[in-house]
Structure 1
Amino acid sequence: MAAHLGDPFRGTRERRVLGPDESQLALERDVAARAARAAGLSLQDIDLMLVASFPSAGVGVGDAAFLARDLELRCPAWNVESTCSGGLACLQMACSLVSAGQYRRVLVLVSCIYSRACDWSDTLTWFLGDGVGAFVVAAAEPGSGLLAVHAISTAETCGSFRYTVEDVDGSGYRPIIRAGNSSSRALRDTSSRFVRDACLQAVEKAGMTLADVDVFLCNTPLAWYAEFFAQALGVGRERTISTYERYANIGPALMPVNMHAAATSGLLRPGKVALVFTVGTVSTAGAAVLRWGEVAVDPTT
């Protein structure tokens, strides 16, 4: 972290945010449709849609039903919320439902539009951005796909961040993200433990050790997080990836975005074993072990 202490933007070089006339739902619709096309499917081939929108376009209700309406889906659409671990929660749920034979093809949409919940005069928001990712879960060849998951509660970080309803710029009242008084201490005391507890348990459940893992992927909410993650597990930084400098902190969307970056860069290839870690403050932390198969990836970002 020391290298970034003198930088008010905390290592951010670029970020993307929705313009005042742009729509969160429109962006989510586009990415969902692109994921289905990459999988060689039409949207009518989807049996279930899981949506982790954090924060959602509206207040009180997630985006799932609105997206299903706009995409003209006939299947059910469910909201799943676990802050920045929403993508991993959706992956585990989708894989379980496909494995149980209840659904064949599950479309997962993960979005984070922090800009709509920012007070730009608050330095907390200077490294927050907007991003959306989507993927389709279907049955995999034996030995590939999801091998194991381990999730733990992060309830001890309650109070680290909160949403308040404020009118910060005269445009009207809306939810605003704020840091709690104890956020630094809570994250300092728990971050390394969450990484090790979730990841070591996941690889053990998969019948593996860290030496069997080829690629280590984590949410990268800060410029130094990938290096911290690698050090916590005692693995080489070159086996991880970070999109932080390009996108800043895009919350739960970091999981699909970093996986996409690893796949398109060649770091993640068929047959490779990946360990995916996400941490959501005031929710859950979790790790998943996957053997990457023949996965179709949309080449655009």
Structure 2
Amino acid sequence: MITTMPLAAGLRSLAVGAPGTVRTNEWFRERYPEVYAEFEQKSLAQVFHTRDSNPDSALFDAAMASYLGDPFRGTRERRVLGSDESQLELERDVAARAVRAAGLAIDDIDLMLVASFPSAKVGVGDAAYLARDLELGRPAWNVESTCSGGLACLQMACSLVSTGQYRNVLVLVSCIYSRACDWSDTLTWFLGDGVGAFVVSATEPGHGLLAVHAISTAETCSAFQYRIEDVDGSGHRPILRSGTSSNRALRDTSSRFVRDACLEAVRKAGMEIGDVDVFICNTPLAWYADFFAQALGVGRERTISTYDRYANIGPALMPVNMHAAATKGLLARGRVALVFTVGTVSTAGAAVMRWGDVAVDPAT
């Protein structure tokens, strides 16, 4: 019987992008003065506070404590889609840049995976529309795992390449939270928009994706919910709202999710935490990188956060933070990175990878 050894697979290129509109905290102060004046009674402050602390939330609460005096909980600015900007056009442009950075043409792409959250079209994802706009005559699949969508796509793409089913897989990860925001609700004041894309191809042995471990976050199903509302007279659309137990669900599970996913991924890779050079987590909160480093017992200087620039951009945080780590020189050929993502109402997961010859598009 003839057997074929699995190929090593990993990133070949990486590109990111964001809308042109920058929204600072002053915009909210001026537009919603009454809401701002009573901020501590509103939803964002109710979701992120340290009342009724317990052992499960102690580490998270300690990292959050220094931000409690800030009504915006550490958020400074966020990028949001302008009225003259198109989500699909932004996604298309970033995807095309990733393909070019890889030294490929669109005809070289065998499959596209798309994690668009929320998607431009109600009821379906953006995959088929992007395939049309890119003139990609190949399969295009939607993948949804909320803020862990990028990691799910990475695992799937590497598996398909390593088994020889596809050669080059294009992954597009986008988060356009502004499509689901009622800006008068303070819960939305820490949300922004961003896009990332990468190409996965075969790489040299010992590089690329080494191990993945994912766990369910179903116990956070009560944290957030989408409701169909007309908040501004422009028509009904899904609007993000806090759930009945947002605070408890997020604080009590965070430390466990980080440790369970990351430690098992490292074990599967045949390594220990000390073997990892760079830790890249999605950073949905101003203090999340601090909390993450403390949860794993690693130095904060071995992590990275783009929260000051982008705020919470959901699943796009994974490629955006990888891009920042690469452009700052933290990721270089041969270095070992651990990537962690967590999504409410979906999954948390960690991937261990050895960085290879990844072409990083400089544009942002």
Normalising by the smaller structure, the TM-score range is over 0.9
- Indicate which of 210, 218, 221 corresponds to 1:147: 210
> Partners of 2:250 and 2:79 in 1: how far apart?
26
Match runs of 1:211-250 below 5 Å: 211-250=274-313
User: 2:210 is paired with a residue of what secondary structure?
Assistant: strand
Alpha-carbon distance in structure 2 between the residues aligned to 1:227 and 1:102: 40
- 2:116 aligned partner, one-letter code: S
The offset of 1:213, in angstroms, is 0.3
Q: Give unmatched runs, 5+ long, in structure 1.
A: none
In the alignment, which of 94, 98, 103 is matched to residue 157 of structure 2? 94
> Which of these residues, 86, 108, 132, is aligned with residue 23 of structure 1?
86
2:261 is aligned with 1:208: no
Matched residue SS, 1:133:
strand
The 2-side partners of 1:283 and 1:248 are apart by: 21
For residue 300 of structure 1, report the CA deviation from its aligned partner: 1.3
CA drift at 1:69: 0.5
Number of the residue aligned with 1:251: 314
* 2:69 matched residue in structure 1: 6
Question: Which of 174, 192, 208 matches 1:129?
Answer: 192
Q: Deviations over 1:115-148 (max 9, x none)?
A: 0100001111001000000000000100000000
Rounded to whole Å, the distance in 2 between the matches of 1:2 and 1:160 is: 21
Residue identity opposite 1:163 in structure 2: Y
**Cα shift at 1:94:** 0.1
Structure 1 position 67, deviation (Å)? 0.3
The amino acid of 2:79's aligned partner reads R
Which residue number corresponds to residue 258 of structure 2? 195
Which residue is equivalent to 1:70?
A: 133
Q: Deviations over 1:191-245 (max 9, x none)?
A: 0000000000000000000010000000000000000000000000000000000
**Secondary structure in 2 matching 1:139:** strand
Alpha-carbon displacement from aligned partner over 1:159-206 (angstroms, at most 9, x marks no partner): 111110000111111100011020110111100000000000000000
Q: CA deviation at 1:63?
A: 0.1
Q: Find the structure with the greater CA-based Rg.
A: 2
Deviations 1:59-118 (A, max 9, x none): 110000000011100110000000000000000000000001000000000000000100
Q: Which sections of structure 2, spanning at least 5 residues, go unmatched? A: 1-63
Distance (whole Å) between structure 1 residues aligned to residue 286 and residue 254 of structure 2: 15
Matched, 1:169 2:232: yes
Q: CA deviation at 1:284?
A: 0.2
Q: How many residues align?
A: 301
CA displacement, residues 234-276 of structure 1 (integer Å, 9 cap, x when unaligned): 0000000000000000000000000000001101111100000
Match of 1:43 in 2: 106
Structure 1 distance, partners of 2:216, 2:65, is 29
Residue in 1 aligned with 2:53? none
SS of aligned partner of 1:37: helix
2:225 is paired with a residue of what secondary structure?
A: strand
Alignment partner for residue 118 of structure 2, among 39, 51, 55? 55
- Partner Cα distance (2:134, 2:121) in 1: 18
Report the equivalent of 1:282.
Answer: 345
The share of aligned pairs that are identical, in percent, is 86
Match of 2:333, as an amino acid?
Answer: P
Q: Measure the CA separation in 2 of the matches of 1:249 and 1:10.
A: 12
> Over the residues paired in the alignment, what is the CA RMSD in angstroms?
0.5
**Corresponding residue for residue 331 of structure 2:** 268
User: 1:58 Cα shift?
Assistant: 1.1
